[in-house]
A and B are shown apart, each in its own frame.
Chain A
């Protein structure tokens, strides 16, 4: 069964803690992405990766970090430097950056 998995679905953390969100795909896609979605708003790009061992900052990269050591995996770390981390985080992948993106189910992060 091919697709993108994100875990966990809901995540709760205390302020000041770093937290890592998981994203795995078995679609053999080269490109992967992380977006943040706030209520009533569109998707804002955090980071994207066109190929393994390479990634670029998106529009709102401050307070976040990523790694792309394997083609299938693109974890996102929300650091304590991110001022408003509570949001819905979506991971996506595509064959290349010019192609349509397939989204995972998302992780809803709440930081108190």
Chain B
């Protein structure tokens, strides 16, 4: 079945440093979604990418979708303590028997030291 791998598993940064997490799918994706989960909380949707090579920005966050629609990245510029949490990518498989099934990566746990 479809697998979505996310690296790194953990990232510790000093406040003000940049952060990037990478996501790779074993199959071509219809779209990819990114979520953030604060400690003790539930996942909250950040963004969805649909087009090959798409790049979207939300303030200090930049999201990219690969040309082959099999990989994606999230980059945070100048991290702040409010960025702390676990960032998940989730891929929706393009066609096949698993239509409608969103597969989550393992997540990257971001710690920001003030």
Contacts and interface: CB of A to CB of B under 8 A. Distances in A.
Interface of A: 31, 33, 35, 40-45, 48, 50, 56, 58-59, 90, 92, 97-106
Given A42-B88, A59-B1, A105 B42 contact: yes
Given A48-B101, A50-B100, A103 B106 contact: no
A99 B48 CA distance: 8
13 contacts: A42-B106, A42-B107, A43-B104, A90-B43, A98-B31, A100-B45, A100-B48, A101-B43, A101-B45, A101-B102, A103-B42, A104-B42, A105-B42
Contacts of B102: 33, 45, 97, 101
- The bracket for how many chain B residues form the interface is 20 to 34
B33 interface: yes
Nearest to B43: A103
B109 to A, nearest CB: 8
B42 A106 contact: yes
A43 B90 CA distance: 9
Interface string B80-114: 00000000101010000001111111110100000
Contacts of B1: 59
A42 B105 contact: yes
A44 B104 CA distance: 7
A108 B6 CA distance: 25
A98 B101 CA distance: 9
Given A42-B107, A59-B1, A97 B92 contact: yes
Interface in B19-54: 30-31, 33, 35, 41-45, 48
Contacts of B48: 99-100
B100 A31 contact: yes
Contacts of B105: 42
Contacts of B41: 105
A59 B101 CA distance: 9
Nearest to A92: B43
Contacts of A45: 101-104
A44 B43 CA distance: 13
